[in-house]
Structure 1
Amino acid sequence: MSGSGFANSFWSGDYAGGLGVLFGKLQQGVKENEQVLTIARMRAEAEELYGSRLGEIGGATDKIVGGFQRDDGASVRKAYEGVRSEMEEAAKNHRKIGSNIRELVVNPFTRWCEAHAQRVQSSQDALQAQVKTHDRQHDQVRKLRSAYYNKCRQVEDLEEEDKLAFQDPNSEAAQSPKNKPVVPVPTIKVPMEDEEEPIDIGDETYSPEQVRKILLHMLEHVKIGETKVPILGTYPNTSSGADITDYIQKHMNASSVSYAERIGQDMITHGFLRLVGNVGTTFANSSRMNYQWRPKVFKVTGLPEKRGKPLERVMSSGSDGSIDSPVGIVGDYLAGWNPLNNPHPNETPAQRLRREAREADERYKTAIKKLDGIRCTLEEDMIVHLKFMERCELDRLRAIKAVIVDFSGAISNVIPSLQSQVDNMMLFQETVQPGSDLRYFLENYRTGQYVPKAVTYENYYNSVDEQTFGVDLEARARSDRKRVPTIVTTILTFLDNHYPDLDGDEARRSIWLADVPLAATHRLRALINTGKPIPHEVLEKFEVPIVASVLKLYLLELPGQYTTPIHSSNG
């Protein structure tokens, strides 16, 4: 990406910093528009008021009886009437000036300013929402990475314990730490089991104290009773799904039933509710589905838990008058029932830890891929919005220049005697240089050029076999068993093969300088970001400038490339 426009000037490591500087300046421009508009509006009001007061002079003199009305031919009367007519003409001219300013400046520029402010606000809101989504996924990746590393560390600890368990306690190996390869991993705090952490409910994150207050309020306002279930008996402390959904919509800002059901599902996940009388753990807005408040809720809130009666045996009479055995009925009902719902009932602790480590690795890897997709989309949309905002800002500066011209014309067309003022205003508008102002904007407020900061999947055992972009250069080359990463040599070889098809050195240089859409570059990046050799047929599907652009993007995404600081608002 080349050039010094908005699209290559307002980037920062966290995206939000550079955008904050840009939109701070653009919102300043919105206020500048209001200041120019205020000048025009108040000048129109002043001209209209001045014309109105001048028009009152003739009527005031007519109220004086016995003056010039009695002296028809006197020269002094002619002078008086001339002065009076000049006053009346001046009143008309000033009213005309006020009318012209409103029609030529105030009304059209008001509509333009409102549309411009809406364009700036819409772009700001759209990009802020995408940055928030990116940051939320980034936090999720960090949590999953921490969980994955912790599981791997637990597996290592268990394996070490197993090795020491069968050694002679008096042996030298058991008494001294075992030398083993050190895997450089970042230090991650392992949370204590009894340490309370914030939890996510819906789209919000609540502290333990906030959760306690919410649960207290729910127990006070949600209808709680008992639910009788055939065979199994009576469950205390239950509420219907409809009552819980109604409470969530009224008190937890749930804008829709589906969002309220998602909050209810999160409460089941966190162990606050459980479904009774049905199989599964689904939360639904239904008066027929009942949910029991778990003991964890009463422990958190400190409220006493209502205990239910022991489950009653239910017996039925057969057609021959005999009574069915309750043990048989319950046995038939519970046949095949797995109360713990455990898909791995015969696992040893070591097998469980290894399985959980693999599952944590997959979740972390999936989240990284999702984050990479969100980041690429964010960067594509940022470039589109930044280019659009550059055009909007240039249009704004040109609009102010045109307003000054129209403002001076509204006056000069009516009163030639104000030509000196008009000349001064024309001189002022000549000093407005939109291109120069835009360069000043960039030189003093740019925060950094476009350098994407890829977040890569970090394998616990330092394997880089599944990705290419964002991986340390030496690690990538070592994995490829080459002095230079395979992606670099493959793309350069591809370009060498296509150089003969281009007409002259200028055409060959132009493929490196072409302004390739970032979306096209990202499409090719997604196909070759596998950590594997690049098939020749994949590159052949894309134009030569796109292939060159993806090599530049690979170099930009190498770790440690982003060093440009965020400038203050004063440059």
Structure 2
Amino acid sequence: MASGFAGSFWSSDYAGGLGVLFGKLQQGVQENQQILTIARLRADAEEVYGNSLASITPSTERVSGGFSRDEGASVRKAYEGVRTEMEAAAANHRKIGSNIRELVVNPFGRWCEAHAARVQNSQDDLQSRIKLHDRQAEAVRKFRSQYYNKCRLVEDLEEEDKLAFQDPQSEAAQSPKMKVPTIKMSEPEDDEEEPIDLGDETYQPDQIKKILSHMLDHIKLSEVKVPILGTYQNCSNGADITDYIQKHMAASSVSYAERIGQDLVNNGFLRLVGNVGNTFANSSRMSYQWKPRVFQITGVPEKKQPLARAGTNMSTDSFTVDSPVGSVQEYLSGWNPLNNQYPNETPSERLRREAREADDRYKQSVKKLDSLRCNLEEAMIDHLKFMERCELDRLKAIKAVILDFSGAVSNVIPSLQSTVDKMMLFQETVQPLGDLRYMLENYRTGPFVPRVTTYENYYNSVDEQTFGVDLEARARSDRKRVPILVTTVLTFLDNHYPDLEGDEARRGIWLVDVPLAQTHNLRASINTGKTFPQEVLEKYDIPIVANVLKLYLLELPDSLVSSHVYEIVKTIYSTTAAETSEETRINVIQSTLGQLRLANIATLDAICTHFTRLIELTSADETYVTALANTLAPCILRPRQESSLTMNERYSYRLIRDLFAHKDAIFGELKRASSLTHSSSGAQRPRAISTDESNRRANYEERNRAIAAQRSPRATSPAPGHRGGSHRRDRSQTRFPVNTSSPTETRRGTRNSLEVPGSLDSSPTAEPSDTNGTTEAAPAAPAEHPAPSSTRVPLPRKHAGSLARSNRDSTGSLRAIASEDAAPRGVQLEDKPMDD
């Protein structure tokens, strides 16, 4: 992510960083007003001073006698010269005031108003988006709690059924016992009205009053005649009500509009006429009568049936009188003694249905929150970039105002040259870029690291999402050592590097500032938790594909090199260890990376292999390597908590430079050590290692101490005996099983340019058998552990027309190498289903 406002004012709750930024921007608005006040008061002072000078001559002319009586005296000439110069000085000072108003006060005043409006609009827009995001996040937490509670109830019910030795299927087949229906009289309503839910929104009583009043004004009301039952007043059909809800209540679909209409029926605002039940439907044949409660709330007069004229004979108008049968029918239609839409449903089925419904609501709320978060981040980046330009323009405007102000004075009165020189000196000291850099260095709150709210499945499944999921969980779900997304993107880039024109274009795709909206578009297409074909990536530009990999690494819950080792890396590169040798530093880095989980090491190896080949084959200079390392630094290693100190540290950058420079040494030793460890373990302990192995030794020692204490008080220390050839591992994630080929195996002479582990012709998604990091000539190994190798196997490279020794473009060499041999080479990682 590019430096500047867009990469410096981020925080976990979004509002913290924006609060700091807009506080400084509002301070800039006040600074503008201060400068404008100075210019305006100076203009007023110059005009007042000019008018005072101009009033001196008329005052002297009112004195009778004096120089007017002596026309030829030299003293009079001197007097008239002084008076003339005084009038010129008055004109000059009035000119200064006029120039300041025309050049400074009027244009800068208009600009200040526009700038303040821009800052305020951006702040209001982002605050409204953050509030919407926070409300949705709160809804996600509520739906998650409901979903987990339902799942626990289902599990409790299943456990009770097991303990009672009951068959749920047979129990479900039995007819439920019918309960005696009872009619519960509704309790009188409280004086205080409660909020009412319509659809997904909750409205206060005053809002309900406005909505109902607007409905009565815009929905057609008519009479509905029902045979036998009579005529109903104040009725509207379902189609008109649905159309109104879609137009005025932002209903995105007919089903959602019907849902709001059903809420109107359930809350006692509407009742179905001419049919049994209380169901709301979008139909012109379904009529609904507005209940008197609606007219009482809104204050709209209710249209009632006029009294019929009495007569001895039955007339046709008598059928239009409200029939008591309608009231009875409405009461019976709403009477549900079980209060259940599924009367034949067993308790276990009801709980499972409610759990499914809670799960669906939770999923939809998480998706909505993710969409709101993406939109919020896109809007924040756009506004932050815009605010950066506005702040830079403000500083430049202040510089121009000081220059114009000094010009308005210096052009009229040369006698004020000393003052003007000082003012010119002051304006020369204003450095917009330096002030902007000072603001970033002293007030930034953190880089762009998106915080993803993932769907947390109750059963720990991650099959429906890719971004924001733990790297090891994603790799285990993909049954790969490296997540499929990483290998697919790197393979896609390898296949398309030769299509680019020139090495500069190939190197530049990793440094291009891609709009976040385009990256989020691609992210949404592949954030499914499943494999995806390369045809999906073909629809996007290559820089967007590269940027989605960086976004994937940024959205990981923990950085690729875990933040737990950040302090260790800091110690490695601290000033106190500056005198250590390079070999010692590399060994410490090897041991530090060995603490990482297998998926992290394999993924880091694949990424470093890709970039080292890119740097070598395109003959990248030091400037590009520095820029690339700075770009990848937050993607590879981040501190656990950002602070003012960590934002100025460059340990992540220095680690990446060492990984680029000593990749073979670092990862080669890691692979060799891991292979020897697993070979020894496989020979002496052929059985599968228990997941409780981490506590086995501690329990064994405790047992020995207890036995020794019972034997004799003079027993020696109960230290356990030597476990010859035993193997212990603390966590299965720290293993790094790799297959290292023997020195006598068949090697190919050339390597395809910029390849990643996998075939050049097909991505890992197209051919599962071609796993990332496995060569075709790899020897067979036991199912439990790979074959060991006592010597380090070199990775030879042969470049046809090496770019380092040739001035021609590397496109030819890339295509030549690809045509010679398309067999996969690279990191010797065995990509197989994970053992644990």
Give yes or no for TM over 0.5: yes
Inter-CA distance 330–105: structure 2 relative to 1 (3 Å threshold) = closer
Of stretches 389-398 and 80-89 in structure 1, the one that deviates more from structure 2 is 80-89
Offset at residue 166 of structure 1 (A): 3.9
- Matching residue's letter, 1:28: Q
SS at match of 2:270: strand
Matches within 5 A, 1:222-237: none
CA contact (8 A) 2:463 2:477 kept: yes
Among candidates 261, 270, 280, match of residue 275 of structure 1: 270
For 2:265 and 2:438, the matched residues in 1 are separated by: 54
Offset at residue 68 of structure 1 (A): 2.6
For 1:4 and 1:161, the matched residues in 2 are separated by: 59
Percentage identity across paired residues of the two chains: 67
Offset at residue 355 of structure 1 (A): 0.5
CA contact (8 A) 1:140 1:367 kept: yes
Among candidates 361, 364, 384, match of residue 363 of structure 1: 361
Matches within 5 A, 1:67-82: 67-82=66-81
Offset at residue 6 of structure 1 (A): 1.3
Q: What corresponds to 2:451 in structure 1?
A: 453
- Matching residue's letter, 1:45: D
Say whether residues 1:47 and 2:46 are aligned partners.
yes
Offset at residue 46 of structure 1 (A): 0.2
SS at match of 1:512: coil
Say whether residues 1:528 and 2:523 are aligned partners.
no
Inter-CA distance 411–359: structure 2 relative to 1 (3 Å threshold) = same
For 2:467 and 2:442, the matched residues in 1 are separated by: 33
For 2:152 and 2:343, the matched residues in 1 are separated by: 24
Q: What corresponds to 1:418 in structure 2?
A: 416
Inter-CA distance 257–481: structure 2 relative to 1 (3 Å threshold) = closer
For 2:329 and 2:120, the matched residues in 1 are separated by: 61
Offset at residue 543 of structure 1 (A): 2.2
Inter-CA distance 215–364: structure 2 relative to 1 (3 Å threshold) = closer
- Matching residue's letter, 2:523: R
SS at match of 1:61: helix
The alignment's C-alpha RMSD in Å is: 4.3
- Matching residue's letter, 2:146: A
CA contact (8 A) 1:30 1:113 kept: yes
Q: What corresponds to 1:122 in structure 2?
A: 121
Inter-CA distance 138–331: structure 2 relative to 1 (3 Å threshold) = closer
Q: What corresponds to 2:399 in structure 1?
A: 401
For 2:265 and 2:155, the matched residues in 1 are separated by: 29
For 2:555 and 2:398, the matched residues in 1 are separated by: 41
Inter-CA distance 435–538: structure 2 relative to 1 (3 Å threshold) = same
- Matching residue's letter, 1:514: V
Q: Where does the alignment leave 5 or more consecutive residues of structure 2 unmatched?
A: 167-193, 210-224, 237-246, 251-256, 282-287, 295-312, 316-322, 560-637, 649-836
Q: What corresponds to 1:462 in structure 2?
A: 460
Of stretches 460-469 and 513-522 in structure 1, the one that deviates more from structure 2 is 513-522
For 2:420 and 2:405, the matched residues in 1 are separated by: 9
CA contact (8 A) 2:197 2:263 kept: no
For 2:644 and 2:261, the matched residues in 1 are separated by: 42
Offset at residue 42 of structure 1 (A): 0.6
CA deviations over 1:82-107 (Å, ceiling 9, x no partner): 22222211111111110111111111
Q: What corresponds to 2:83 in structure 1?
A: 84
For 1:413 and 1:466, the matched residues in 2 are separated by: 72
- Matching residue's letter, 1:382: M
Offset at residue 443 of structure 1 (A): 0.8
Say whether residues 1:160 and 2:155 are aligned partners.
no
Q: What corresponds to 1:108 in structure 2?
A: 107
CA deviations over 1:472-530 (Å, ceiling 9, x no partner): 11211111122222211222222222234346665433222221221111111111111
Give the length in aligned residue pairs.
478
CA deviations over 1:345-369 (Å, ceiling 9, x no partner): 2101110010010011111111111
Q: What corresponds to 2:480 in structure 1?
A: 482
Inter-CA distance 520–165: structure 2 relative to 1 (3 Å threshold) = same
SS at match of 1:458: coil
Inter-CA distance 215–399: structure 2 relative to 1 (3 Å threshold) = closer
- Matching residue's letter, 1:518: L
Among candidates 493, 496, 499, match of residue 495 of structure 1: 493
Offset at residue 131 of structure 1 (A): 1.7
For 2:269 and 2:458, the matched residues in 1 are separated by: 36
Inter-CA distance 135–566: structure 2 relative to 1 (3 Å threshold) = farther
- Matching residue's letter, 2:9: F
CA deviations over 1:265-311 (Å, ceiling 9, x no partner): 699579764534644469xxxxx9434769xxxxxxxxxxxxxxxxx
Matches within 5 A, 1:348-387: 348-387=346-385
Say whether residues 1:59 and 2:54 are aligned partners.
no
- Matching residue's letter, 2:464: E
Say whether residues 1:437 and 2:399 are aligned partners.
no
Inter-CA distance 511–70: structure 2 relative to 1 (3 Å threshold) = same
For 1:455 and 1:424, the matched residues in 2 are separated by: 57
For 1:401 and 1:116, the matched residues in 2 are separated by: 16
For 1:267 and 1:52, the matched residues in 2 are separated by: 78
For 2:527 and 2:466, the matched residues in 1 are separated by: 5
- Matching residue's letter, 1:158: L
